[in-house]
Chains A and B, each alone.
Chain A
Amino acid sequence: GAVVSQHPSRVICKSGTSVKIECRSLDFQATTMFWYRQFPKQSLMLMATSNEGSKATYEQGVEKDKFLINHASLTLSTLTVTSAHPEDSSFYICSARTGTSDTQYFGPGTRLTVL
């Protein structure tokens, strides 16, 4: 149980384009989903927390207009990197949590490369 999927697993795009990453909880309802960013050989940095049906809460230093997060249902959250630039290249990981447990279950991650 507690499986989280991400799509796509890998994406390469040109600078200036927008990329959407999906995060789905497959066998449970996720009232809260989290988006993290991980640079090579570094730890996970929390970007934002999203609760179903409400606006995401962004961490300090994360541009909300650049990283658009939508949590429209209890099983789906999306992260859109708008007008991507090479410095946005990173490993993006989502996690999901049920309302009754504080364990975060992580998706497999999406590796974004912006050329």
Chain B
Amino acid sequence: AQKVTQAQTEISVVEKEDVTLDCVYETRDTTYYLFWYKQPPSGELVFLIRRNSFDEQNEISGRYSWNFQKSTSSFNFTITASQVVDSAVYFCALITNAGKSTFGDGTTLTVKP
């Protein structure tokens, strides 16, 4: 069985603050992929990042950064200097090599001006 836990249901920050969204996963597969998606109020899911289980290198893309720690089965997402447009629901997802996908329950981020 596999599971993705996003312990933070809702987070509220003030613009320009940094915020970290947590994601912890469980799987018995040795090969898997981790994803973060953003779902703004419009509903469309926007792909943010994909990481495979053999690549623990952290990544930075503009104000976004991701910290993959295989030892703790975590794949956390940090937004630096948050903006109002970052307000959305963020989903962490685990997809195995066989294609089975499991999504976390999502974290609703609200960035206030």
Q: In the complex, which residues of chain A have a beta carbon less than 8 angstroms from the beta carbon of B44? A: 106-109
Q: Known: A43-B91, A44-B91, A97-B99. Contact between A103 and B47, CB under 8 A?
A: yes
Pick the contact of B33 from A43, A102, A108 — CB < 8 Å?
A102
Mark contacts of B29-55 with chain A using CB atoms, 8 A cut-off: 1 yes-contact digit, 0 otherwise. 000010101000011111100101000
Q: What's the Cα separation between A107 and B44 when bound, in Å?
A: 7
Q: In the complex, which residues of chain A have a beta carbon less than 8 angstroms from the beta carbon of B103? A: 43-44
Q: In the complex, which residues of chain B have a beta carbon less than 8 angstroms from the beta carbon of A46? A: 100-101
A49 engages B43 (CB within 8 Å): no
Interface size on A, residues (CB 8 A): 21
Pick the contact of A104 from B43, B95, B106 — CB < 8 Å?
B95
A91 engages B101 (CB within 8 Å): no
B interface with A by C-beta (< 8 Å):
33, 35, 37, 42-47, 50, 52, 91, 95, 97, 99-101, 103-106
21 contacts between A and B (CB under 8 A): A32-B99, A42-B106, A43-B91, A43-B104, A49-B99, A91-B43, A93-B45, A102-B33, A102-B50, A102-B52, A103-B33, A103-B35, A103-B47, A104-B47, A104-B95, A104-B101, A106-B45, A106-B46, A107-B44, A108-B44, A111-B43
A interface with B by C-beta (< 8 Å):
2, 32, 34, 42-44, 46, 49, 91, 93, 95, 97, 102-109, 111
